[in-house]
Every structure is written in structure tokens, then in C-alpha cells.
Amino acid sequence: MPIDDPLHPSRALLDAGEASLPDLPVCDHYCGVEARMRKSLQLQAELGPAFDVTLDGEDGAPVGGEVEHAQLIAELVDSPLNAHGRVGARVVPVDHPAFEPMLEALLPRAGARLAYLMIPKPDGVADIARAATAVDNVLARAGITRALPLHALVETHGALREVEALAAHPRIESLSFGLMDFVSAHRGAIPQSAMGAEGQFEHPLVLRAKLEIAAACHGHGKVPSHCVVTEFKDTGALQAAAEKASRQLGYLRMWSIHPDQIRPILDAFAPSVAEVDQAIEIITAARAAHWAPIRHGHRGREQLHDRASYRYFWQVLQRAHRTSFAGGPQLPAEVRLAFFDA
């Protein structure tokens, strides 16, 4: 079924005036050292576009060497290592002296192939508007005509105050929570334990910030991206954190800072086999009924379903599709052909 078919679920189940959610992988893997950047791109080439790779020009760049680092990132983005077109870059904040020089080093070569540009530490929506203008100007001078998607890190008091406006900005595709800088911005009022795998889900101020970001993103059709877990050797802690982010807080994406974190994040954000099987049955029957209400289930345990629940089950299939490249529940060939490969 072609995506532009009015009966395709991405069209038939979208309410009038509702923005479709950006189709982003559930894992965003960050790396900044050249050897790790190359290894991460090689891993992505092997596993497929189940996760994004963000080449880090902020924390990954040596002080004073930001422009040279941006040139390296441009070279990698424009290389055969970028096999799936799912590579982004993080630059320095808009008020950093190297911000525009980094754009000049990065975008003329890589602007056509970058999946997105991450803007750290905006103090509000004015910083995003400023970043978008600077990006567009550099792209235009390079003869590149595209609106490069922007991602932003909510890690300052100002950004959290204006999180609704940030999520509403037309160039923003995803908002991430910057846990470490957010905690540090409280000048010791939030304890170090709130940066840990468990404490970040328990401290009220941190939990409030996560919920406000997720709610703002969902309200404006953007992707909320959960922060890092620094205990990268503790797979159990990471798995538990990723499941809480996905199942309890409504996040659709999560950062990885070590290759060993990618698989647990994909597993945590993937629906279960039982969820996928149920979604296939309901969406297939609903499509056959041209999205009219149906009854589904076994005798005596049937449930009524209509467009409201169809939307949920379609989202389950979309999540399964995003994670199936790297070992998540595999969609049957006929389902992929009907909904994703047409």
C-alpha cells in the first residue's frame, strides 16, 4: 500500500491538523573521539539504521580545536561510512565564539547529508531561532537548499521555562534532556545521586523536568529523547532506566555513550513479540474494514476497537519497524510490504 494512499494508516489515522511524528530511531549514539566515531559508523553500517550516530563537536572537540574537529566530522559524514544517512552532529552553543566558524567548516561539505544538527544549551527559543538563521545562511551560501532539522538539549533553566515554545518551533525535530548540566545548574541543591541510573528517576526536580520535556514534545509532534546513563558497564541498570524512560515517562528515544549501551536501549524501546502480534491482528482487520470499528479477541473476551485504539496499535508497529534492524521483533514480510516498503 503506497504511503500516499488515503487508507494507509499514516494518513487514515492522523487527525486533521495533527503533525506526524518524525520517524527517528529509538537510540542516539554519541561519540567524539575520531577512533570511536569511525567504529560507531562501522557498527551502524553493519547493524542498519536502528540507531543514529551523533558526531560530537562540543564535548568531543579539544578546546580551541572546534573548527578542525568540525572539519573531521564533515569528512566522516560525507564518507562511505555514512551508509544509511542517519548521522548527525553536535556543535557548540550559539553564544560560543566557534559556533558560526564550526558551521562554516561543517555544512558546506556535509550539510546535504547530515540527518540533523544538535544545538546544546539554548537558553530559550530565541537561541534556536538564531541557530536556524545561521544554519540557513551557511547552507544557502553553499548552494544547499534544505531545511536541516535541528535537535536541542534542554539543560538550562531558561530552556525548561520555554520548553513548550522550543517544542513548537518548526525546525525542531527532537528535544533531549541534558541531565548533568541541568543538575549542575542547581548549584548543589540537587545531590550527585540524582545523576545516577536510579536517582534521576526519583528526585522531584529532575523528574519534573523529564516529564515537562516529554509532554511538550508529544503536544507538538516532536520526539522526546532521554538522557544518558553513565553507568555504561552496568547493563541491568541501563536496561531498567531505558524501560522506565520508555514505559513510564513517554520517551521515544534515548542517548547512548558507549557501544555496549546500544543493544539494551533498542531492546527496552522495542515492543514485545506479544504486543507486535496483537497490533498486526488489529491493524490488519481494521484496514480490511476501511478503519471502521471492529471487534477483536476470543469468544467471551472480545473488545471493541476504533480509530482511537487503531492509532495506538499502529504506533506499536512503527516502533517494531524502527527496532527490527538490530534484533527487535521482526515484522512479517507481508506486513512490511503492506505498510513500510511500499
Q: Could you read off the pLDDT of 54-70 as tens digits, one per residue?
A: 999 999 899 999 999 99
Is residue 4 situated within a structural domain? no
**Which amino acid, residue 332?**
P
Domain match, 159 and 41 both: yes
Is residue 14 situated within a structural domain? no
Q: Rounded to an integer, what distance in angstroms lies between the CA atom of residue 167 and that of residue 173?
A: 8
Domain match, 187 and 231 both: yes
Asked whether residue 327 carries a pLDDT value surpassing 60, the answer given is no
The last residue of one of the domains, among 269, 286, 307, is 269
Is residue 65 situated within a structural domain? yes
Pairing assessment for the beta strands 303-305 and 150-154 based on DSSP bridges: unpaired
Report field, pTM of the whole predicted structure over 0.85: yes
What is the tally of structural domains in the chain? 2
CATH number at residue 136: 3.20.20.60
252-275 average pLDDT score: 93
What local confidence, expressed as pLDDT, does residue 108 receive? 98
Domain match, 237 and 114 both: yes
Q: Rounded to an integer, what distance in angstroms lies between the CA atom of residue 167 and that of residue 234?
A: 32
Domain match, 260 and 285 both: no
pLDDT tens-digit map of 65-123: 999 999 999 999 999 999 999 999 999 999 999 999 999 999 999 999 999 999 999 99
Domain match, 180 and 309 both: no
Domain match, 257 and 290 both: no
Q: CA 156 from chain center: how many Å?
A: 20
Give CA torsion, residues 72, 147, 144, 48, to 10 deg.
50
Which ranges in 169-292 belong to alpha helices (H)? 179-184, 204-219, 235-247, 259-269, 273-288
Q: What is the mean pLDDT of the chain?
A: 92
Domain match, 296 and 188 both: no
**Cβ–Cβ < 8 Å for 153, 128:** no
pLDDT tens-digit map of 276-295: 999 999 999 999 999 999 99
Measured at the alpha carbon of residue 224, what is the angle toward residues 219 and 230, in degrees to the nearest 5? 155
Three-state SS for 101? helix
- Residue 163 is part of which domain span? 24-269
Helix (H) or strand (E) holding 27: strand 27-31
CA dihedral sign, ordered 311, 312, 317, 323: positive
Domain match, 28 and 78 both: yes
Domain match, 236 and 310 both: no
Is residue 76 situated within a structural domain? yes
What local confidence, expressed as pLDDT, does residue 178 receive? 95
What local confidence, expressed as pLDDT, does residue 140 receive? 98
What local confidence, expressed as pLDDT, does residue 302 receive? 85
Q: Rounded to an integer, what distance in angstroms lies between the CA atom of residue 195 and that of residue 189?
A: 13
Is residue 8 situated within a structural domain? no
19 band by pLDDT with thresholds 50, 70 and 90? low
